[in-house]
Amino acid sequence: MCEIGKRMPSSRSQAEEAESSPYVRGRVEQLESSYSEILSLLRDRKSLSEANDTSAMSNSTPSNTCSQLSQSPDLVSPPGFHSSQPEAASNYLLEIPPEECQNLINDYRRMSSHNFPYVIISEACPVASLIEERPMLAQAVFITTTWRTPARQSALKDKFLKDLGERYFNKSERSLDLLQALIVYFGWCHWHAHPVATQVYRLASLVVALAVELGIDQKPMNVTQHDMIVGSNTVLAQTHEAVSSKFWGYEARRAYIGAYTISTFGLFMFRKPCMLTYTQYLEDCASSLAADPQHSSDTTLIHMIRTLRIAEEVTYSFDHGSKEKVGELSDEKIQILVRALSRQVDEWKVSLPPGVFNIGRIKRSYYSVRAYMREVGLYGLLQGQAPSVARVSIIYDCFNSTMKYLSSVLECPMDEMADWTALDWRSLNFIIMLSTKSSIILDSAYVSTEASQRAAWLGKCLDTLCLRAQELHRLKTESSSYFQKISTEWANMKVYHQNCLQRSLPSSTAANGAQMPTQLATQEHQTCNVPYVDNAFDLDPFNQLFWAGFADSEPGLGGVFPM
């Protein structure tokens, strides 16, 4: 077996529980009231599982890689699925030649290690082993890596969603295979989901729910319970014997950190409640991976979750999007809070090992959190109102952080950006919004050479990013795509930015640009016959009117803005 792990029975019988209870019980209630029942069910199936494992091992060709990777204990798929799904998986994979399958797996290894290292496939793990042991994960990987061939990707996606519905909803399966597949499917969903924002939040909710149902967000209760869930035949690696009762295996710990990242992404980017919050156990899991890594990316996970923890604290400090909370704070109090939070993220940066800050996603996370904590400076300003000194300082630092973030992005080669996840693109879109709004406020209040330079730099930056998005749209070879959409939106942001700055210039200068076309009029503004820039800044940044002209919120999510 390779790193993908062995199969064991599901930790509870969902069908029996559904008959005995009118609702699905939470994990804590389940552990408190039904622990003995769960253990009884697992013991009843233990002998069957051992027989299945013995048979599978006897029919497979051992390899050094698979033997080594199987030492990582993890949650697994139920035995009832073992005998039927590989046939279905093989049927749909017949359309992809084995050589191409290998190439796609190699593409995924590159993409995940650099951008989303929460589901790792070892270099030496055979494709056949991946397909047999984790059929849903294999499907998700092939969906992710076939974005250059939309027809094939669409067919694979349809198959994946059908199997997901059958296994998760109809058969009530809860397995690491499903969780890892959903994490991968979520990571690059901008290549195949429509509309992206709606799909992203729903997928995030499903990922978090499955992680909690599996129980990997808490340490195993004891060695016996750990062994029964991860598999009694699993041989723990020598270095992990002493901590087997404290942590799940490598795959489960990475998946837990991935689920937390996805959950915080929803909080950070969609202003939705954080479904899976930071805990000491999360920190311990990431620290354990860094202390004894299987892959180089394991050492970076601890740094990523610490920036996300600060983002959580920022959200709770300012309750982003709430007028009531911000209204309770004066500009001076806000500045004190921002400085305190800024010290935390700066201390995090100082604590990084040499060279780690130069990793693209680490550097971008630093500047995005710095900008995010200063977003509060945009709240409550009326057009034409002179900001206080404290407010100007916050907004200037916000813009400065966004400039450094965007500079880091412009340094990325095109091939690297093509491997980015949905989180990376959403973060970039968010930073562009903040930089544009910050520039408008600063440059409308103070006309200077520096303001002109800021505006010119931002305009060139948006031009470059639009060209890159258009190139990715061309590579996608579809009539419409996510990248075509954001390219259009960024072009509109540039025009909106220029229009606002034009209005702030002296009348003699502004007259020269009076004929500049306005591409951003919205139905709301036409109805009330009030120019948008005259009333926009009394709204919270993520209310619908605040970003009007940038993009329309997508239906079905109550004001969640598109990716």
Residue 557 lies in a domain: no
Residue 7 lies in a domain: no
Same structural domain, 450 and 431:
yes
Cα(542)–Cα(331) distance, integer angstroms: 20
Residue 258 lies in a domain: yes
Q: What is the mean pLDDT of residues 236-249?
A: 55
Query: Which residue range(s) make up the domain with 538?
Result: 301-506+518-547
3-state SS track over 281-295: HHHHHHHHHHHCCCC
Asked if omega into 73 is within 30° of 0 (cis), the reply is no
Same structural domain, 284 and 373:
no
Residue 513 lies in a domain: no
Residue of 40, 81, 292, 278 lying closest to 176 (CA atoms): 81
**Which of the given ranges, 71-75, 308-312, 374-378, has the highest pLDDT on average?**
308-312
Give the pLDDT score at 388. 87
Give the pLDDT score at 315. 85
Residue of 534, 538, 512 lying closest to 525 (CA atoms): 534
Give the pLDDT score at 51. 42
Same structural domain, 308 and 456:
yes
43 or 190, which is more confident? 190
What string of DSSP letters covers 139-157? HHHHHHHTTTSHHHHHHHH
Backbone angles phi, psi at 125, to 5 degrees: -75, 120
Give the pLDDT score at 113. 93
Cα(558)–Cα(553) distance, integer angstroms: 8
Give the distance from CA 509 to its chain's centroid. Answer: 45
Tens of pLDDT along 134-163?
999 999 999 999 999 998 999 999 999 999
**Which of the given ranges, 10-19, 377-386, 482-491, 529-538, has the highest pLDDT on average?**
482-491
Give the pLDDT score at 373. 93
Give the pLDDT score at 532. 30
Tens of pLDDT along 315-361?
888 876 555 555 677 888 889 999 999 999 999 999 999 999 999 99
Q: Which residues of 259-287 are buried (b: 16+ CB within 10 A; e: fewer)?
A: bbbbbbbbbbbbbbebbbebeeebebbbe
What string of DSSP letters covers 404-461? HHHHHHHTS-HHHHHT--HHHHHHHHHHHHHHHHHHHHHHHH--SHHHHHHHHHHHHH
Distances (CA, A) of 296 to 105, 116, 292, 453, 545: 18, 13, 10, 41, 44
Same structural domain, 241 and 336:
no
Of 251, 283, 299, which residue is a domain's last? 299
Number of separate domains in the chain: 2
Sign of CA dihedral 230, 234, 237, 243: positive
Banded model confidence at residue 561, pLDDT cuts 50, 70, 90:
very low
Tens of pLDDT along 72-114?
334 443 332 333 344 554 455 447 888 899 999 999 999 999 9
What burial class does residue 412 get, using C-beta atoms within 10 Å of its C-beta: 0-12 exposed, 13-18 middle, 19+ buried? Answer: middle
Give the pLDDT score at 449. 74
Give the pLDDT score at 247. 87
Same structural domain, 52 and 148:
yes
Same structural domain, 366 and 444:
yes
Same structural domain, 322 and 440:
yes
Banded model confidence at residue 544, pLDDT cuts 50, 70, 90:
very low
Same structural domain, 335 and 243:
no
pLDDT at 297 over 70: yes
Give the pLDDT score at 236. 32
Residue of 492, 496, 472 lying closest to 484 (CA atoms): 472
pLDDT at 36 over 70: no
Same structural domain, 137 and 178:
yes
Give the distance from CA 380 to its chain's centroid. Answer: 29
Q: Which residue has the tokens 């389940």?
A: 30
Residue 22 lies in a domain: yes
pLDDT at 458 over 90: yes
Give the pLDDT score at 24. 40
Residue 561 lies in a domain: no
Residue 105 lies in a domain: yes
Task: Name residues whose C-beta falls within 8 Å of residue 53's C-beta, 6 or more positions apart in sequence.
Answer: 6, 7, 231, 233
Hey, what amino acid is at 212? Answer: V
Give the pLDDT score at 187. 95
Same structural domain, 243 and 332:
no
pLDDT at 287 over 50: yes
Residue 5 lies in a domain: no
What burial class does residue 398 get, using C-beta atoms within 10 Å of its C-beta: 0-12 exposed, 13-18 middle, 19+ buried? Answer: buried
Of 259, 277, 299, which residue is a domain's last? 299
Same structural domain, 273 and 354:
no
Same structural domain, 191 and 333:
no
Give the pLDDT score at 383. 57
Range in 16-20, 86-90, 330-334, 391-395 with the lowest mean pLDDT:
16-20
pLDDT at 372 over 80: yes
Cα(326)–Cα(379) distance, integer angstroms: 8
